[in-house]
Each structure stands twice: as C-alpha cells, then as structure tokens.
Amino acid sequence: MNSDNEISFKRLIDISLGSKMSEGEEQILLTHNTVYVIYNDLLNKVYIGETVDTYIRLFKFWKTDKRHVGGENSPISKIFNKDYENTFFKILEFNCDQQAREYYWDKYYRENTNYIIVSHPGRHGCSDPGNKGLIAIHKDSTQTYINPEDLDNFLSDGWKIGGKRQSPRTDEQKSKMSVSHLGKIPWNRGIKLSEEQKQAYRKPKKIINRRVYNNSQIENLKRKNTGRIKIHKGSSELQVLPEELENYLNNGWIRGTKKRMAKYLKPDGEYIDYSKSSASRNHKDWIFISDL
C-alpha cells in the first residue's frame, strides 16, 4: 500500500518529540476534513478514521487522551503490537464529507481487500458502538472483531471465537512495569485547572440516599406480594392479585414476565432469536450477538 501520501509511525514519534517536519510531511499532516488509514502489511491490519484536523488528531487529541504516538497507551501500541517501523499513517481523502467517506472506505476495505479492520481502543474501549453486532475472535496473540457473516472464513483459517485471554502477570513482569515508569513525567504535570474546573471540584458531591427497611416493613412487603401473579403488556410489567387477573387478560395483558429476546450464534453456525434469560441459563455454549 506504500505511496508518497503517507508517513511511518516511527517518524511520527520523532515529530512528536520535536523533530522538524519536511515540506512533504507538512502537506500530509497539516490537512483538514480528512479520512485516513493506519495500516500494517505484516500484521494485515488497518484502522480507518476521520478528523477535521489531522495534526490535532495526532499530536494533541491523542496526547490529552493519553494515547499519543509516543505514549505507552497509544493506539499503535494497542492494536499494532508496537510495530512502529512497519505501521504507516496515510491520508485517503481531504476536504471531504468525513463521515460519509469514512463509511465508503470502511466498506471498500472490507469488500475489496483481505485486511482485518480493527477498532480504536480509546476511552470507550473495544465495547464502543463501532463493535456492536460484531464477534470477537482471536488467533495466537492477535484479537479483532468481525461481521457474523465472515465468521466461517476466519474459523477455517485457524481463528477462534472469543477474546484473547490474558494470563496473570508474573512478579518479574510487574517489576519490569514498575521500573519502566520510573522517571517518567506525567502528561498533566504543570497543567493548571481552570476556574470552572476548580469550582466543580468545590461543589458538594452528590449523595445517593438508599432507603433502609426495618424488619416490619420487609414482612409487610412480602405479604403484599405473596400470591400475586406476574403479567406483561408491551414493555410494561405488573404483579396482580388472582381475582384481578381475568380483567387484565381481557384488556390485552399476557400472563408471565416479558421475555427479552436476543440474537445468538449456535455452535453449529446457525443464528437464532431466543429468550435472553433462557439462553443464559440453559445454553452456555451459545454466543450472544445483539439484543433485539
């Protein structure tokens, strides 16, 4: 995918540390209303994004969010295994309708290439809305999310369903992590709080008052609900006395609680719409896809 309209993350780190940009690098980084791609041919991964200001996205937004290119929590470390040298940032389009064109390029890469589309592990984590309806899979040390219709192809290629399981850190690993942080300057050192932030901290904290029942009240509540029958209508649920049941049934109410339905993937590859509570109790090997 190499071209002139790209720059390696190794070079981006140098720029973030104060290296002067060349004229060609300025043409790439000082652009607006862009759709971009971060890719690694060796790992076969791409991340597609959009921004109104490329430079701010790379060197300010990521930095304030503790994800800048030189940081331990940067997206390059999370999704491209710290392979800075073989991972590249490339502008696909600029001065465009970012959201519409981002959707176009995401669809293009899914339908016309064999790259794995990865999600940004930012402050919303991998459970952000972009992964809704996708299935987590892993292979060796790599984890990604795919569309349900692509599952069979990945399984036949050695991928497994589910997220990559992390083994507990050893004492040696913990010691290395501790040493690696010694002497590092926190990203927010020297940044003063604004007056608005100071006032927000000075305000009294919200207190949640939880009602505490005494034994007498608990017994009264038990007697009140004993013998009642659960019914539902649409999204509403009630508990009624036996003598009231017939009137409610005549008005369209249904006996029992409302069943929450969800889409599941069975071990044989079949998709099924099923009661969520029943599936969680009786079908532990089914994979939850999405609520209905």
Q: Are strands 116-117 and 45-53 parallel, antiparallel or unpaired?
A: parallel
The pTM (predicted TM-score) of the whole model is 0.42
Please give the domain boundaries of the chain with CATH numbers for all domains. Answer: 6-132 (3.40.1440.10), 261-291 (no CATH)
What pLDDT does residue 115 have? Answer: 85
Q: What are the C-alpha distances in Å from 13 to residues 68, 112, 136, 138, 244?
A: 9, 31, 30, 29, 71
**15's tokens:** 């720029």
What pLDDT shows up at residue 67?
46
Can you list the residues of the chain whose pLDDT is less than 70? 1-4, 60-78, 119-133, 165-166, 205-211, 235
Neighbour count for residue 211 (Cβ, 10 Å)? 5
Sign of the CA dihedral running 276, 280, 285, 287: positive
CB distance 28 to 8 below 8 Å: no
- pLDDT at res. 19: 84
Q: What's the pLDDT at 131?
A: 54
Cβ(50)–Cβ(121) below 8 Å: no
Diameter of the chain by CA atoms? 83
Mention every residue, 6+ apart, whose C-beta is less than 8 A from residue 132. Answer: 290
CB atoms within 10 A of CB 185: 7
pLDDT of the residue at 126: 39
